[in-house]
């Protein structure tokens, strides 16, 4: 059973610059900037606490369907079961989920930069409600990477991005959304319909 182990931190812009400078000084190279749209579905067993089904669109080219089930813990390092598959057509997958009576409950956008530090995956995320960092690795490696990139004293965040979206997002037609204002655009079925109409012109 695949288990994801990670710790999340809230960053200020100054802290972000300092951490990125440390990683660059270690001759590490960041990955491509990823623009994400994440849709969290509800309905059926997904309404049970700690469960999430997410359809993620990345840079308009790739998509992933992920199921997560969080293990109860008071530790800032969270453990959760995770299953993920690549999706060839996100709009078709959205329609399939709809036919199975799952419906979008939350949508949040994110700008993500990925780094690899030793055996850990480090990501720096910008969301409409703040800057964050996640370190994903075994517990001992998380603690080691914290020290070498200067993150050991940063405040840990217990909330997930969906829970923060639920708290800080805005409701629109029954769906709570957290979007970048300058990048507001139609998604899912609306985006698909718009592309189809454009082809006919």
Categorize the per-residue pLDDT at 185 as very low, low, confident or very high, splitting at 50, 70 and 90: low
Number of domains observed in the structure of the chain: 1
44-70 pLDDT, tens digit per residue, is 999 988 899 999 999 999 999 999 998
Q: Between 115 and 75, name the one with better pLDDT.
A: 115
**Separation between Cα atoms, residue 126 and residue 89, nearest integer Å:** 25
pLDDT given for residue 72 in this prediction:
82
Which of 125, 120, 166 lies closest to 10 in space, CA to CA?
Answer: 125
Categorize the per-residue pLDDT at 199 as very low, low, confident or very high, splitting at 50, 70 and 90: very low
**Separation between Cα atoms, residue 51 and residue 18, nearest integer Å:** 35
**Separation between Cα atoms, residue 141 and residue 120, nearest integer Å:** 7
Identify the domain containing residue 114 by its residue range: 3-200
Can you give the pTM of this predicted structure? 0.85
Q: For residue 87, what are the contacts with CB-CB under 8 A and spacing of at least 6?
A: 55, 63, 64, 65, 93
**103 φ/ψ angles, rounded to the nearest 5 degrees:** -135, 150
| Residue 23 scores a pLDDT above 60 | yes
**Separation between Cα atoms, residue 83 and residue 69, nearest integer Å:** 9
| Residue 77 scores a pLDDT above 80 | yes
CA-to-CA dists, residue 133 to 6, 98, 165, angstroms: 10, 32, 16
Q: What is the CATH number of the domain that holds 179?
A: 2.40.320.10
| Segment 94-119 mean pLDDT | 97
Categorize the per-residue pLDDT at 197 as very low, low, confident or very high, splitting at 50, 70 and 90: very low
**Separation between Cα atoms, residue 152 and residue 121, nearest integer Å:** 16
**Separation between Cα atoms, residue 28 and residue 26, nearest integer Å:** 5
């Amino acid at each position: 059973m695949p288990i994801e182990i990670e710790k999340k931190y809230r960053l200020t812009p100054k802290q972000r610059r300092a951490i990125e400078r440390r990683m660059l000084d270690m001759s590490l190279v960041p990955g491509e900037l990823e623009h994400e749209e994440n849709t969290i579905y509800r309905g059926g067993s997904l309404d049970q606490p700690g469960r999430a089904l997410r359809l993620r669109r990345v840079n308009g080219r790739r998509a992933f369907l992920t199921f997560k089930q969080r293990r109860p813990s008071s530790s800032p390092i969270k453990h959760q079961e995770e299953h993920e598959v690549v999706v060839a057509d996100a709009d078709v997958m959205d329609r399939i989920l709809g036919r199975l009576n799952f419906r979008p409950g939350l949508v949040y956008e994110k700008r993500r930069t990925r780094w690899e530090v030793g055996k850990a995956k480090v990501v720096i995320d910008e969301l409409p409600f703040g800057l964050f960092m996640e370190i994903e690795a075994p517990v001992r490696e998380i603690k080691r990477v914290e020290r070498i990139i200067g993150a050991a004293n940063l405040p840990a965040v217990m909330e997930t991005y969906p829970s923060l979206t639920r708290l800080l997002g805005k409701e629109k037609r029954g769906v709570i959304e957290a979007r970048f204002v300058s990048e507001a655009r139609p998604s899912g079925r609306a985006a698909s319909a718009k592309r189809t109409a454009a082809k006919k012109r």
